[in-house]
Chain A
Amino acid sequence: MTTPDPDRLRCGRTTDDILDQVADGRGDQRDGHQQSCPHCQAVLGEYDRLWAPLRTLAEEQVTAPDGLLDTALARVRGAVAQTDYGIIDGPQGVTRIAARVVVVTARESAQEVSGVRVALSKYLHPTLAARPTHPHGRHTLPDAGPEVTAGVAGRSTAIEITVAADYGHDLLELSERVRAEVTDRVRALTDLEPVQVTVIIDDVLD
């Protein structure tokens, strides 16, 4: 003797199928059997009643509370305001490289050039970095000291490096070596294209 299947009606239909029929919103689309079967009709009616709160919930218009996302958007805006990014498109998506990454890369590579005693870096806000420069390449900012600055737009980056050199080097030749080293290293490590590398020999140290 087999145990009756609790999910199967006496007419042979299953309650599982009827549940899916009701939940899919097809409860009123009854086939020929269901139109005359009291077992199916009873279960259809019962499930339709029980499922009503789910239908109501699904139909509710839910709106986010006013101002809910303002704080979060303000936080994103704040973070963005402090960061300047280079954008590299790739087949799998976009890579963003912050300007400060370029700054560090440029500083480290300049530091390794023979004849450079020290290269300092400081991130400048893009609006400041974009200000006109002195004809000789110095920043017009009164407090501009030895530093590396970088501004990026799209795939291009412009870098300014301020270094203190060891005494006794040909400074023009030194600046060319710094420019070449920085350009190669930034291009290799970040895939950004340094379109302008300004080298400022700020001081000569014994």
Chain B
Amino acid sequence: MTGDHDALDEQADRWLVDKVRGGDMDAYEVLIRRHRDRIYRIALRMLGDSHDAEDIAQDVTIQLWTAVTGFAGSAAFTTWLYRIVVNRCHNHRRGRRRTRPVLDTDPAPTPGADDAAITREQSAATLRSVAALPPPQRAVLVLVQMEGLSYREAAAVTGESEATVRGRLHRARKALITDMRSWS
């Protein structure tokens, strides 16, 4: 059922993309709104910062209008979209290097705080740990571990081999588990 739904979504995306390539702005708006949560979510998980993620989402929205003419249609639209957003995140990261350690300004969970607050803080800290990974490892971790892409799909997005994707994912997992252990 999920597969059918995904297939229908892909069909709808392709139909919209064809309209956009013909200059249909309404189709573009629909296409963007269908994927806005995905765009924002990837950026948030790649960068670990909601403001940066918002910047990326807006940049991608503008960039896609012209970039969509280069969408060959040989891959799923979502795969192509992942590539655009991930690459944009890499460039954003390179252009705005942080000058402070990412964990310095954020307090650890405090005793007595309610469960929701702890969960929020834990999520934020986890995001920061992910964001601290080297970009190639981070991209693979976000794509496979969080977005649920297969190794093949992640390889298509990153332009690497499946073996490289597996290796990077494992190194990312080892780095994170080490980081998580330091919280204990």
- Size of chain A's interface in residues, with CB distance under 8 A? 35
Contact check, B62 vs A57: say whether CB atoms are below 8 A apart.
no
30 A-B pairs, CB-CB below 8 angstroms?
A: A16-B174, A19-B173, A20-B170, A20-B173, A23-B145, A53-B123, A54-B176, A56-B123, A57-B123, A58-B145, A62-B44, A63-B37, A63-B40, A68-B58, A69-B57, A69-B58, A71-B58, A72-B59, A72-B61, A72-B62, A76-B61, A76-B65, A77-B25, A87-B22, A92-B72, A93-B72, A95-B69, A96-B23, A96-B69, A154-B22
Q: Nearest-CB distance from B154 to chain A (Å)? A: 14
Contact check, A53 vs B29: say whether CB atoms are below 8 A apart.
no
Contact check, B177 vs A50: say whether CB atoms are below 8 A apart.
yes
Contact check, B72 vs A68: say whether CB atoms are below 8 A apart.
no
Among the listed B32, B41, B54, B126, which residue makes an inter-chain contact with A56, where contact means beta carbons less than 8 Å apart? B126
Q: Indicate whether A76 sits within 8 Å of B145 (C-beta atoms), given known contacts A64-B36, A96-B69.
A: no
Contact check, B40 vs A68: say whether CB atoms are below 8 A apart.
yes
A205 at the binding interface (Cβ < 8 Å): no
Q: In whole angstroms, what is the CA distance A60 to B180 when docked?
A: 18
Closest residue of A by beta carbon distance from B66: A96
**Contact residues of B: prevailing secondary structure:** helix
What is B's interface to A at a CB cutoff of 8 Å?
21-23, 25, 28-29, 32-33, 36-37, 39-41, 44-45, 54, 57-59, 61-62, 65, 69-72, 119, 122-123, 125-127, 130, 145-146, 170, 173-174, 176-177, 180-181, 184
Contact check, A80 vs B123: say whether CB atoms are below 8 A apart.
no
Closest residue of A by beta carbon distance from B39: A64
Q: In whole angstroms, what is the CA distance A90 to B44 when docked?
A: 36
Q: Nearest-CB distance from A73 to chain B (Å)? A: 6
Q: Nearest-CB distance from B28 to chain A (Å)? A: 7
What is A's interface to B at a CB cutoff of 8 Å?
16, 19-20, 23, 47, 50-51, 53-54, 56-58, 60, 62-65, 68-69, 71-73, 75-77, 79-80, 85, 87, 92-96, 154
